[in-house]
Amino acid sequence: MTKPKPKPKPGMNSKLNCPSCGTRFFSDETDAMPFCCQRCRLIDLGRWLDEEIGMPFEGEPGDVPVEHRNGDPEARADD
C-alpha cells in the first residue's frame, strides 16, 4: 500500500508562473519573487518605467489623468 503524498503548506515551495516570461518555477528556487529570475524582474521594471504597463485610471467621468493636465500658470516659477 502506498502512502498518499502530503499536501504542501500554502506558500511553501509552490509552483508559480513568472509574470514576465511565463516560466513555471518553484517559489524556493528564486530570490526575485514573484519572478523566476532577476532578469525578468528588471524587464518588468523597465516596462513600468517606459510606461508600457501601469495602473488603470479610475477617476470620475470627465476627469483628466494627472499626466495630461495643464500646469497652473500661477504656480510656475519660470514664467
The topology (CATH level 3) of 14-53 is: Erythroid Transcription Factor GATA-1; Chain A (3.30.50)
* 37 among annotated binding-site residues: no
Per-residue pLDDT of the chain (79 residues; tens, 9 = 90+): 566 665 555 556 789 999 999 999 999 999 999 999 999 999 999 999 998 888 877 777 777 766 655 665 444 444 4
CA distance 48 to 35: 15
* 21 among annotated binding-site residues: yes
pTM of the model: 0.56
> Rounded to the nearest 5 degrees, what angle is found at the Cα of 55, between the Cα atoms of 49 and 61?
130
Cell of residue 6, nine digits = 502530503
pLDDT for the residue numbered 53? 87
Task: Give residue limits of the domains in the chain.
Answer: 14-53
